[in-house]
Amino acid sequence: QQQVKQSPQSLIVQKGGISIINCAYENTAFDYFPWYQQFPGKGPALLIAIRPDVSEKKEGRFTISFNKSAKQFSLHIMDSQPGDSATYFCAATLVQGAQKLVFGQGTRLTINP
Amino acid sequence: DSGVTQTPKHLITATGQRVTLRCSPRSGDLSVYWYQQSLDQGLQFLIQYYNGEERAKGNILERFSAQQFPDLHSELNLSSLELGDSALYFCASSAHDGGYTFGSGTRLTVV
């Protein structure tokens, strides 16, 4: 019930295209859903996060879509750039009580120039 | 700089040895989490401390232990090291509103 499933494992997108990564969770108590971006040899960096009381959050070229009934959320990267090439992790947690982040398996994104 | 400081950045040691990884959380954060990331793998939760007390345990081996000190910094102790322990070890800290922040990690190589 603590799992977060992420797909696809890897993704190749042309420059200027839209990158879409999907995640599904099981625990309906989760109330915080962040996405992290990680470059090789670096720590994960928070990209964007959403709470379950909204269905969409946009920050620049990055958008989270959230479907509470389906227990799914996704990351959309518009106008994908070569600099977006990285590994992306979705995560979920229950903020109350400072619970740990439960991570998806990660998606290696490659943007071809 | 994320505000979470991990030392050392790199560590090379021999099998059977013991090492200590250190983490200083972001100012004001009471929770510290340790994660292990093996090559091309995801982030595996090891253990969490909250204000000095162990809060949650994940897939942490018995050869590994951690503690959080009164000044809130944390140490992860890895003993009887094996080749398979080679990985990136990340520390993260969080505030009450969720803001989880990761350090830049310690790359451990066991030879």
What is the reported pLDDT for B95? 79
**Which residues does chain A have within 8 Å of residue B105's beta carbon, measured at their own beta carbons?**
41-43
How many C-alpha atoms does A56 have within 13 Å on its Cβ side? 5
CB–CB contacts below 8 A, A to B: 59
Mean pLDDT confidence for A19-46: 94
pLDDT at residue B93 tops 70: yes
Nearest CA to B44 out of A47, A71, A39, A102 is that of A102
What is the reported pLDDT for A99? 81
pLDDT at residue B107 tops 80: yes
pLDDT digits (tens, 9 = 90+) for B12-60: 999 999 999 999 999 989 999 999 998 767 899 999 999 999 999 998 9
pLDDT at residue A102 tops 70: yes
More confident residue, B100 or A108: A108
**Which residues does chain A have within 8 Å of residue B42's beta carbon, measured at their own beta carbons?**
89, 103-106
Strands A107-112 and A10-14: parallel
Which stretches of chain B sit within 8 Å of chain A by CB? Answer: 2, 4, 30-31, 33, 42-43, 45, 48, 50, 55-56, 58, 88, 90, 92, 94, 96-105, 107
Nearest CA to B87 out of B78, B95, B96, B99 is that of B78
pLDDT at residue B97 tops 90: no
Mean pLDDT confidence for A28-38: 93
B53-66: burial string, b at 16+ Cβ within 10 Å, e else:
eebbebebeeebeb
